[in-house]
Structure 1
């Protein structure tokens, strides 16, 4: 019989006296991989914290079939001492061994510092050392180091304080600790945040084949599709369980919506028929009653219509009592990105670009890239390969150490930075819009409502917003920027799945050019039509196709360095031609002839390059 590890019954949680969720009941059994799913702010992390015993629920009960020491937690807000190093944190997964090792190190230092050996200290050192050997302490040390290497954590980081690491490094360190311990139940809060594709794929395989049970929160739909065996949807009124992963969940929700809509329409038709029958019988009764006068026979006959009337009214009452209601639609982001009209083709070109770290280690060397109207370029590669740096060069936020960035005079760039530090934290949402020329309060409130900032939310300061809310504010800036080239660095990182899908729809319909860095593989699949692959120690490569084609291993079309160079030359020539074609008529006939000759030469050069391609 399958063992139940967590059983929650009628849980209720309040914040400031208002119910965040209530009536939450569910079970998680051995061997499952369950996604806790819901919109941002619904209380997923709060529910996890309550299950972990870190906060109390107002109502309900939770029973456990597993002791706390068999739980393993990946925590986005992990609080540990400032001094604890990476190696110490992972090693501390076995608390008894960690305490023994700490005591051994203290005694060893004490014995080294004392001139005459302390007999008691020597005896204690021997006893603890024996215990350490019996528990295979050195085997545990080897396992910890192996797990750190498996997560691609450089030994140079092991002695660094955990709190100084980047977000992606912290996640990998916690995963290494869980990999070493192999607890029976894993609780993972956003495990895919800040991970590069290689680590993500490793995590997917590990979770998919994990011998224990996994309960997790994630907005990465590809990760969910490849790992989840069940989806637990959390709402303010409770939760519901769906078998399968995200695709199956969506299909089941669509089927439920169609079924409910069919029942609702049938019910409305039946209601109309009953109301019509009631109206008709009421009219018949009144007419027959008037016609009957004092005739007892006719009066008795007219009462039959009254009986039928009461029967129809009873049917209507039953229908209303068992009425099927369509669910109230949750507010959704409403966004349509527009761009300035642009008649040319090439938006921007990077030619022979060099970009290096402070120690002169080159991220990019002799790099060429051209961006056209209609391009949907996804930049892929491991963390540290230079993806964000490249986007900053394209956006003009950073300058290369060599080479040239050529921008069309009418190119307008909209830049979304994953740090979101370009937003003014002191400004309210409403004030940030009222600064725009011609903006009225009514217009500003309407637009903010479309971006899921209703009523009093408009008076919130940007600095007080969650990261997901700040993302929506950053999209507001893009909305008004009307750029014809959007440069987006992790645009969906802090958004829930429903909002991500609205953003994807807006980007897919956007008429300008896009350059995107993201760990969201669904986003690449929906939007990208061209890929740039960056890797440490290798020349950048272009893949002239979709992300789906690339992941399907159709990678023979990756462009050679020569093809990349030709493509860059082609874009520069097209940009020069577009500039000459828009030139005003010159003063003399000779100058005009020279202009036409230059245009003809450029067209010939472009034709030659197109033939080579």
Structure 2
């Protein structure tokens, strides 16, 4: 059974076609990733699917009530209320509850007022009719199920971390009892631990999911199928990102063979037509002296030539465009000799914001050609560490030693220094010793093609501005790149371009990112920040992940415990259980409870 189906959608924005021929179908228990380049219209498509925007053509069918489709938006809503206010906002029961609370307060102040008593009784009956108190219990159960502890419920929503906000937004969606959840960039602003939690939650969700994401590992772990959106339509691929890439590579090879075969056939036809034309001209010249045989021969050659021209015309109509691969970075860096091996050193560095300590007695060194990944939970101080390295912040105690030959390029400074009146090409031509031809080649490698290079910086999206800033930084002659979440606003093709550029970069790199794909490809050293300490690991990010898994059995048990508790609360709070599956549900609850007790005993040392 399908939950939602769209056929041949086309959308225009300000008279310009955004996309066309878009078809998508979401069935029960499917988890679909929607991918595509920035600006292609993924969020617009979701709004069309939800009926919030019109399509110029095509139609959307719903296999469920639209109220059973939950939508978790991309941006963090600005809300001055509490977490509880945010969760129940827009729910019909919340309006009645607020009215009931209002008259309850009035009644406390005016207990003898008959009109107040009457209005209070009306609201109370209305609340009972909609099972309001059961709904309140469901709200509390949902918050607990998502790991939002009671002390947070009445704190300001705006004060929550990115991971906490994601859980709260999910709670609001779940109160609709959705059969389909639509998520727009759900991993934005989440640290790696929060992303893993979200993966586990979605894998245990019994309904269907449609989500937009540029996080390749998240797509791999969650998606059962992937739709790619382009201007000319959508195409469905089985599995997650890795499977999608394999299928795309196979497509490319197939299309390349078809293109080569077509070009050979086209070349052969052109040669044949040319030959027939020569024979026709020769025969026709003989026919001019009233030679019946020559006239017959000329007519025969003309017929053959026209037949081949029709074949060529049909071939041109069915022409396969040459498949294109994204250009790769080709650079000829002149790598300066770096005096000495050590580039930068933090010695017993302590830093705090006002009275809030961030680091204490940190020692860290960065050597020539190091690619250091700085990782840790949100709020642990990753950006602060980068700013101390770059000299933007100064330590309270200790010192930061920098090699005199060190030239630091800091990503966010480059982003802030873009001239909004310049075109993209103008900005790149500011790089020393660069020609216009080189600038355009470089921009093509970073996915700015043809007329795009003349766009003004002021008209660009945040992702495009970040791309321009990265190009300027990359070719700035810096020998240390300091990159704080450089891929946050990038689509997958841009992320892969950035990765390839960083791999061939000849200097050193310090990198904060929540994208494991990027970190595995680039980083050869890791600094892990937690609770004011910085632990240094002298190996690749992939090796560090393995080290974390095998060297910390307590953390392993805690991770397993969190997953079991998540599954346990979902099973206990599921109100839509098929009676035929009740026995297996109870058996799973019993099994999980035993596992939880065993892990808790081990953690408590008993």
Report the TM-score when normalising by structure 1.
Answer: 0.80
Offset at 1:321?
3.4
Aligned to 1:345: 341
- In structure 2, the CA distance between the partners of 1:321 and 1:448, relative to structure 1 (3 Å rule), is closer
Query: How far apart are 1:385 and its partner, in Å?
Result: 1.1
Correspondence for 1:547 among 519, 538, 541: 541
Q: Deviations over 1:82-130 (max 9, x none)?
A: 543211111347x24323432232122112222x433454465466557
Find the residue that maps to 1:374 and give its secondary structure: coil
Instruction: Report how far residue 134 of structure 1 moved.
Output: 7.8
Q: Give the unaligned 5+ runs of structure 1.
A: 559-613
1:70-469 to 2 correspondences below 5 Å: 70-77=68-75, 82-92=79-89, 95-114=91-110, 116-122=111-117, 125=120, 128=123, 140-141=135-136, 144-145=139-140, 147-148=142-143, 157-163=152-158, 167-179=162-174, 181-287=176-282, 296=292, 305=301, 307-327=303-323, 329=324, 340-360=336-356, 362-417=357-412, 420-421=415-416, 423=418, 429=424, 432=427, 451-452=446-447, 462=457, 464-469=459-464
Q: CA deviation at 1:35?
A: 1.4
Where does structure 2 lack aligned partners over 5 or more consecutive residues?
553-606
Could you say which residue in structure 1 is the equivalent of 2:515? 520
Q: Structure 1 residues 372 and 299, CA, compared in 2 at 3 Å: closer, same or farther?
A: same
Give the whole-Å Cα distance in 1 for the aligned partners of 2:441 and 2:262: 35
Task: Report the CA distance shift for 1:504/1:279 in structure 2 as closer, same or farther (over 3 A).
Answer: same
Distance in 2, matches of 1:226 and 1:507, equals 25
2:63 corresponds in structure 1 to 65
- Measured at CA, do residues 123 and 287 of structure 1 come closer, stay the same or move farther in structure 2, by a change above 3 Å? closer
* Structure 2 counterpart SS, 1:253: helix
Query: Structure 2 CA distance, aligned partners of 1:144 and 1:64?
Result: 27
CA deviations over 1:118-163 (Å, ceiling 9, x no partner): 3454465466557757866566545545654665656565334435
Query: Secondary structure of the residue that 2:44 maps to in structure 1?
Result: helix
**8 Å contact kept, 1:9–1:62:** yes
Q: Distance in 2 between matches of 1:252 and 1:274?
A: 33
| Pair 1:490-2:482 in alignment | no
Q: Distance in 2 between matches of 1:496 and 1:333?
A: 16
CA distance in structure 2 between the aligned counterparts of 1:333 and 1:304, rounded to whole angstroms: 52
| CA deviations over 1:444-465 (Å, ceiling 9, x no partner) | 6776566555677667664553
Deviating more after overlay: 11-20 vs 406-415: 11-20
Whole-Å Cα distance in 2 between the matches of residues 188 and 203 of structure 1? Answer: 11
What is the TM-score with the length of structure 2 in the denominator?
0.80
Q: How does 1:20-59 map to 2 (within 5 A)?
A: 20-59=18-57
C-alpha distance in structure 1 between counterparts of 2:15 and 2:286, whole Å: 64
Query: Once the 2 structures are TM-superposed, how far is the Cα of residue 172 of structure 1 from its aligned partner?
Result: 3.4
The structure-2 alpha-carbon separation of the partners of 1:163 and 1:330, relative to structure 1 and needing over 3 Å to count, comes to: farther
Bigger Cα Rg = 1
Measured against aligned partners, the alpha-carbon deviations of 1:151-197 in whole angstroms (never above 9, x if no partner) come to: 56565653344356565543332123335554111110000000111
- Range that drifts further, 428-437 or 513-522: 428-437
Are the equivalent residues in 1 in contact too, given 2:329–2:445 (CA < 8 A)?
yes
Q: Helix, strand or coil: the match of 1:241?
A: strand
Cα deviation per residue 1:250-305 (whole Å; 9 max; x = unaligned)? Answer: 11111111111111111221222223233334444555666787665676567655
How far apart, CA to CA, are the structure 2 residues paired with 1:20 and 1:398?
Answer: 44
Structure 1 residues 337 and 504: CA distance shift in structure 2, 3 A:
farther
Q: Which residue of 2 aligns with 1:471?
A: 466
Q: What's the counterpart of residue 602 of structure 1?
A: none
State the alpha-carbon separation in 1 of the partners of residues 13 and 312 from structure 2: 41
Contact 2:446 2:494 in 1 (8 A): no
Cα distance in 2 for residues equivalent to 1:58 and 1:44: 16
Residues 30 and 209, structure 2, Cα contact 8 Å, conserved in 1:
yes
CA–CA distance in structure 2, aligned partners of residues 241 and 73 of structure 1 = 22
Shift of 1:349: 0.5
Q: Could you tell me how far apart the structure 1 residues matched to 2:278 and 2:424 are?
A: 59
Q: Are the aligned partners of 2:364 and 2:536 in contact in 1 as well (CA < 8 Å)?
A: no
